[in-house]
Amino acid sequence: MRLNTQRTICIGLAFFSICAFWQFYDNEIPKILKNSFGMKETMTGLVMSLDNILALFLLPLFGRWSDHTHTRIGKRMPFILIGNLLACIFLLILGHLSQLGPFLFCLVLLLLAMGIYRSPAVSLMADLTPAPLRSQGNAIINLMGAFGCFCTLVLIKVFLKKNQYGPLILSLVLLMMVSILILFLTVPEKKLIDEMGTQPKTEEEKAKEASKGKKMPKAMQRSLIHVLVAVFFWYSAYNAVTTAFSRYAQQVWHLQNGAYADCLMIGTIVAVLSYLPIGHVSQKIGRKSMILFGIGSMTLAYGMATIMGTYSQIMMIWFACVGIGWAAINVNSYPMVVEMSQAGDIGLFTGMYYTFSMAAQVFTPIASGFLLEHVGYQTLFPYAFVCMILAAITMLGVHHGDIKKR
């Protein structure tokens, strides 16, 4: 059994378009709110958290809805096409608004449109990839997402001049629309699903079909709860560090002029380079083992950063450990969750996965921000360290969703 790499890359174009948008949103929307509308930091932070808050409800909703949708072009593709089209329309309108009220209203509509197709886009990979190969498939999806982020950064550098956002937004819209058009033309979802239905089923697929409509066994329920709680904890740790590290480096290590970026860049590069190898290794040693390795790698890195009172080049090594650890976790955690789903429930379980990750990204800026403000910046890495320990403890209670050994 081999992964259809070319098709998986095409499927990944949906996640490519999503990540391309979020790279723009995270980098440029706060600047627009501050520079164009004079919005203060606290209110800007509230507006920027809207996407995570909306995602708590939208991702399970549209994931579940797509599970029960049947059209001539498939069940995920209508949501991907409609969500992408609406997002592109609202993004174009957003670039021409100069009053705060209409801008915020359009921004909410834009976030709603993006919420329509995130869960169906990721579920499409799980639908069209045999269960044992989903870690490899998810590695390619994550790689496509990273490439989408990179493309947006290039567009920002080329097209953003003197805060004139028209050319940048137009180029981003074209990038998003073309990527989804290529996906639609190269991945005939309905046809592929029908073809997969005529092929001999694996033992896992037979068991999943047999479980359809039945209540999940209690042991599997416990595993699902444990892995979702672990998702919450490791996203809490990672998000706390990535959002506050620039300020931490300045306040604690006294780094100036963007010198902190070297560490984050090393972590990102190592993660991107690790996706595909980790996908292959995971198929050999199992998802849980690889996730525990990733948790251990990140826990070690955050622990060592805790005891470093001053900056040293050795931090590059620890952030490389964060990068490879994050890749090991990311590649395997989503396939582990959908492995526990029943036949026809992949969209719902995809939404559940993203609900817990988004809940962490709503919670952790408040919790870690409170500690940073009232206790001190020295709490950043201990906070992340404790969250990773809690992730390890909960992950040890997961006994389902792994790759079946043959």
Give tens-digit pLDDT for 229-259.
999 999 999 988 887 887 788 888 887 766 6
The C-alpha atoms of residue 180 and residue 176 are separated, in whole angstroms, by 6
The C-alpha atoms of residue 81 and residue 78 are separated, in whole angstroms, by 5
Tell me the H-state helices in 187-213.
189-198, 203-211
Tokens, residue 106: 């359009």
Tokens, residue 58: 């939208």
Q: pLDDT (tens digit, 9 = 90+) per residue, 331-380?
A: 999 999 988 887 568 888 988 998 999 899 888 888 888 888 888 889 99
Residue percentage of the chain with pLDDT more than 70: 93
Q: Which of 32-36, 165-169, 402-406 has the lowest mean pLDDT?
A: 402-406
Query: Can you give the pTM of this predicted structure?
Result: 0.81
Across all residues in the chain, what is the average pLDDT? 88
Task: Give me the residue label for tokens 């964060």.
Answer: 322
The C-alpha atoms of residue 31 and residue 165 are separated, in whole angstroms, by 11
For the chain, the 3-state helix, strand and coil shares in percent, each to the nearest 5, are 80, 0, 20
Q: Closest by alpha carbon to 47, among 110, 119, 113?
A: 110
Q: Is 302 exposed, middle or buried (0-12, 13-18, 19+ CB in 10 A)?
A: buried
